[in-house]
Structure 1
Amino acid sequence: MADVAAEAGVSKAAVSRVINDAPGVSPQTREHVRQVIARLGYRPDPVARALASGHGDVVELIVVDDAAVFGNSPYYGRVTAGILQELAGTNAQLRVHVVEKPDTAALLDRIAATVSLGVILINVTPALAAEFYARCDRVVSMGPSAPGIPFVDVENADGAYAAIRHLHESGRRRIAALHGQAGNPCADGRREGHRRAVRDLGLPDISVIGKFRREAGYDMTRRLLGEEPELDAIFAGCDLMATGAMQALADAGRRVPQDVAVVGFDDSVIAACSTPPMSSVQQPVELMAAAATRALVERRPDPYWRCVFPAALQVRGSSAPVVSLR
């Protein structure tokens, strides 16, 4: 810090304020100090910071999404639980940052200068993730990101394939898919598995694209019912979408599973609590988040490190076979 202060021609207190994003420094000085930090390659010593502050190391969780969605999504809660389970019994802490897309670059820039134990990324674009990784190599992404960035994932394509095959084997022939947004690596993998399944099974490709939201699942299902009146099954890219689909089916007078079978993806708590209980592809989110955290705790996963979990289908009442209903 003294070297940065001397090079920038400011006090160590000013450097500290810049590093901690504290007030008391003009925008011009703040930018100048950040440029000096970048040029010198300065990184705060996590051990020294821990001793000075009385706190342990920190894992930063960066989520690019709306704060309201973060609070309502089972996925984010499971990620947080997995990280905390892995950190239990250590002196490390978890710090969560929920940020919208326009503010992501500024947040990453600030964290790159102060990172301690490491960073877990969710929904950060590959371009921004690659730029961040060039400055800070203590990073793991939840889902694939830019080439070379360590990540954890689940076999999304295989899970989607298993869901479509199950629906086909249970007697369904007009199977629609509710996909997540294009460019999302999880959604892209599940879309790939769906397309491979309908090709192998000789089924029509009936699909729509939206966000991983309950409201999107509802709206897309309503639209599909108008366009595909013979629809007899739905595979949804996440459980939230699937619950929206089930509500839309109920509002349209379609019974689940008698008229339309439904399979989700995640196997979150809402799957087992649905009526009827929802079939869903298991995604071990807590284990995935724990693996990402463990890689950081064990210090700097190698470039191209990855940890991919298998996806298994949990069959419940929402996709009972047609033959058993007649």
Structure 2
Amino acid sequence: MIFSFSATPDFDFMTYFARHIQATVQNGLLVIPDYLGQGSIRRLAFGPDFKITIHRYLLKEDLIIKRNTSGQGNDLITIFFYSNEQALEIAYNDKPQVLFSQRDESAIQVTSNDLSSTIRFPAHQTIHYVVVAIKPLRLQELLAVDEPNSILQTITGSGNSFLFFEQMTAEAKLLLKNIAAVDMTDRLSNFYVQIKVQELLYLVFHKLSLRESTAHQTINSADAEKLLQIRSLIISDLSVPPVIRDLAQIAAMSETKLKQLFKQTFGSTIYTYYQQARMEEAAFLLKQGKHSVGEVGYELGFSNLSHFSRLFEKHYGLNPKRYSYS
């Protein structure tokens, strides 16, 4: 099933999606019809400029959501929390979908409303994601930062195009579970959810506020598509270090532009991102208990196991052997 829409400033996802699947919305709740699957979508508003939509369902067929830029401005910030254990595929500019997570299928995406995107949710798997939509001025008032870095200035400014990714922390995952479990018959449930959503926003923007403050490079849908493609290539074979020159050719960008946009979007340099993914993969394999330290090191391209152990301990505070038993 494909649901396509234009992201106009006043677009109401719930209303139009309900029409698309021949369902109704009652008190902010859309129950998925039996023919399509099971579950629901719930919307809560904390004013006209701050809303949350909670998606939780299992569908009988793939769902593809295509957001098309409207050309009517982008005075809206979307924060997308995806906390599934299954793989999510996301693409920009109507290109083939790109897997944006490997071992931990959780991510946080902060984007302006003017980037086209395509997201595919697989059938027969529980889907759980939350979307927060907020106007820049409301977010600026909530954050109340005297000297915001360039990223916060870009996000809370007017008319800027941006895309940022952050990893989902355990604390954020717990908050999402608490929000999903709220008893909405409680008279103060809306108030409770608003508090929890603000906690989520704090976690996201606290991490973004710690990033290096540099001049913002404007991004478009084609750039975003290429960046996800490059990220996918980097993590597809963690035994081989990335070669910037080759990646720049694939992305059809200069090396300088690729390095700048990658660091801006994902918060670290290409090589640092690669090393972090490498260590996360090592930790995953060690925790499985099916591989020795040597097997994990060699699988990830380390010819010197002492170097592997030192690098792993730098990331996790324990050497690989002790970590595997912790």
If the TM-score is normalised by the length of the shorter chain, which range does it land in?
under 0.3
**Structure with the largest fraction of helix:** 1
Higher relative contact order (CA 8 A, sep 6+): 1
Could you state the TM-score of these two structures normalised by the residue count of structure 2? 0.25
Could you state the TM-score of these two structures normalised by the residue count of structure 1? 0.25
